């Protein structure tokens, strides 16, 4: 028996191979039939090749996914065949202080990020430890659930664990058409925040408005700093949701009100900047770096989906189009998440 596995064999070189099927799941493991993989910028980093990444090719790609339990090993109590699930995307140890406290993304002995350092989810079947598997609530499609382990949970962690966004606050969401940008707009609106967002074209501006954003700025036409300060009567926003970096980062600091919080999980426009430390402490800014999420964040994201706060899906494509989908993500011609069906 073999399974299909989409494998990165070199920088920007993917091959769909026939790999040996996994053995029956061991004690404490479940076997998962993957049904949907959602794309992330992490896939792009992996696809392009990163000089600093400690990993060996070939590696099966796919960093977040949903599927069905195909078999269970001895001692597995929480799942049975046919259950719909998502998987935590990093091999945490489950026993260090961070893991015991539920801060899974700060695991001290993490064995790598799946689909990036080690084999990921873009394959028909894989075995995983039961403790890293999370049930999908009734009423949530596997297509939507596939956006929970990274997309939705990253936003949960950024907005609520790190920036501690609360009702009534004003937030600037950068790149409101991206997978995490669309989720951030919906989650912030759902708790009663005022949302200002930036997009790169008028088509995306209309779509961001339709998601509930109160103000949409086309950053190619207008300076977001100027408009945001105008919209907030020069006071600035409570929170900036950053994942772009580069030149815009200083603008993001500029539009924070005194004591405001900036949370970031990305640097698609550039990883190195300079900023003014005087401004940082005088304005009493709080800057949070955020990477990944906890198992709890994934469960909370799925619960939101079950309650109707669903992810924005750009498109659903077959596995043969994984690479062209990555290129589309790279070109930023997407609004929401790209899903690869199995």
- Indicate the residue among 99 and 183 with the shorter CB distance to Zn ion: 99
Query: C-beta of 90: minimal distance to Zn ion in Å?
Result: 10
Query: C-beta of 102: minimal distance to Zn ion in Å?
Result: 11
- Indicate the residue among 40 and 105 with the shorter CB distance to Zn ion: 105
- Indicate the residue among 99 and 148 with the shorter CB distance to Zn ion: 99
Binds Zn ion (CB under 5 A): choice among 107, 298, 313, 339:
107
Query: C-beta of 100: minimal distance to Zn ion in Å?
Result: 8
Question: E-assigned strands of the chain?
Answer: 2-10, 13-20, 29-38, 59-60, 64-72, 84-87, 125-129, 133-135, 170-173, 194-199, 215-218, 237-242, 256-264, 286-289, 313-318, 337-341
Q: How far is CA 167 from the centre of its chain?
A: 23
Residues of span 258-317 touching Zn ion by CB under 5 A: none
Size of the site for Zn ion (CB under 5 A): 5
The CA angle 287-252-64, to the nearest 5 degrees, is 65
Query: C-beta of 174: minimal distance to Zn ion in Å?
Result: 31
Kindly write out the interface string for residues 155-194 of this chain, putting x where it contacts Zn ion by CB under 5 A and - elsewhere: ----------------------------------------
Question: E-assigned strands of 150-267?
Answer: 170-173, 194-199, 215-218, 237-242, 256-264
Tokens 């919209």 belong to 231
Query: C-beta of 107: minimal distance to Zn ion in Å?
Result: 3
Query: C-beta of 46: minimal distance to Zn ion in Å?
Result: 23
Query: C-beta of 294: minimal distance to Zn ion in Å?
Result: 12
Kindly write out the interface string for residues 5-44 of this chain, putting x where it contacts Zn ion by CB under 5 A and - elsewhere: ----------------------------------------
Whether the bond into 58 is cis, omega within 30 of 0: yes
- Rounded Cα distance between 134 and 131, Å, is 8
User: Which residues share a beta bridge with 60?
Assistant: 7
Q: Which of these ranges, 85-93, 116-124, 172-180, 280-288, lies near Zn ion under the rule CB under 5 A? A: 85-93
- Indicate the residue among 106 and 317 with the shorter CB distance to Zn ion: 106
- Indicate the residue among 99 and 175 with the shorter CB distance to Zn ion: 99
- Indicate the residue among 130 and 225 with the shorter CB distance to Zn ion: 130
- Asked if residue 296 lies in contact with residue 320, where contact means CB atoms within 8 angstroms, the answer is no
Using CA atoms in the order 79, 138, 136, 2, what is the torsion angle rounded to 10 degrees? 70
- Indicate the residue among 93 and 269 with the shorter CB distance to Zn ion: 93
- Indicate the residue among 96 and 267 with the shorter CB distance to Zn ion: 96
Query: C-beta of 110: minimal distance to Zn ion in Å?
Result: 7
- Indicate the residue among 39 and 132 with the shorter CB distance to Zn ion: 132
Residues of span 86-105 touching Zn ion by CB under 5 A: 92-93, 96, 99
Using CA atoms in the order 129, 112, 106, 339, what is the torsion angle rounded to 10 degrees? -80
Query: C-beta of 104: minimal distance to Zn ion in Å?
Result: 7
Phi, psi dihedrals of residue 63, rounded to the nearest 5°: -105, -15
Question: What are the residues binding Zn ion (CB under 5 A)?
Answer: 92-93, 96, 99, 107
């Amino acid at each position: 028996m073999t399974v299909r596995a989409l494998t990165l064999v070199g920088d920007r070189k993917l091959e769909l191979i026939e790999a040996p099927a996994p053995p029956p799941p061991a004690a404490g493991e479940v076997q998962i039939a993957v049904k949907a993989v959602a794309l992330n910028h992490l896939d792009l980093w992996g696809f392009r090749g990163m000089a600093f990444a400690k990993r060996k090719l070939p590696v099966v790609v796919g960093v977040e996914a949903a599927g069905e339990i195909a078999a269970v090993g001895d001692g597995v109590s929480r799942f049975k065949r046919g259950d719909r699930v998502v998987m935590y995307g990093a091999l945490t140890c489950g026993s260090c202080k961070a893991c015991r406290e539920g801060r899974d993304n700060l695991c001290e002995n993490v064995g790598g990020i799946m689909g990036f350092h080690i084999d990921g989810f873009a394959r028909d079947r894989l075995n995983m430890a039961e403790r890293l598997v999370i049930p999908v609530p009734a009423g949530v499609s596997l297509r939507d659930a596939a956006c929970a382990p990274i997309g939705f949970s990253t936003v949960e962690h950024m907005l609520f664990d790190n920036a501690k966004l609360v009702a009534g606050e004003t937030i600037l969401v950068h790149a409101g058409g991206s997978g995490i940008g669309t989720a951030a707009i919906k989650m912030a609106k759902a708790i009663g925040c005022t949302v200002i967002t930036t997009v790169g074209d008028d088509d995306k501006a209309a779509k961001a408005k339709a998601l509930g954003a109160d103000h949409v700025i086309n950053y190619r036409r207008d300076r977001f700093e100027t408009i945001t300060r105008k919209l907030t009567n020069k006071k600035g926003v409570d929170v900036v949701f950053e994942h772009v970096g580069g030149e815009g980062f200083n603008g993001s600091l500029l539009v924070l009100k005194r004591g405001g919080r900036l949370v970031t999980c990305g640097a698609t426009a550039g990883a190195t900047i300079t900023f003014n430390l005087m401004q940082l402490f005088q304005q009493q800014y709080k800057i949070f770096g955020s990477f990944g999420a906890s198992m709890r964040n994934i469960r909370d994201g799925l619960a939101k989906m079950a309650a109707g706060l669903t992810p924005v899906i750009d498109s659903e494509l077959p596995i043969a189009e994984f690479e062209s989908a990555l290129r589309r993500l790279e070109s930023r011609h997407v609004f929401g998440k790209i899903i690869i069906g199995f």
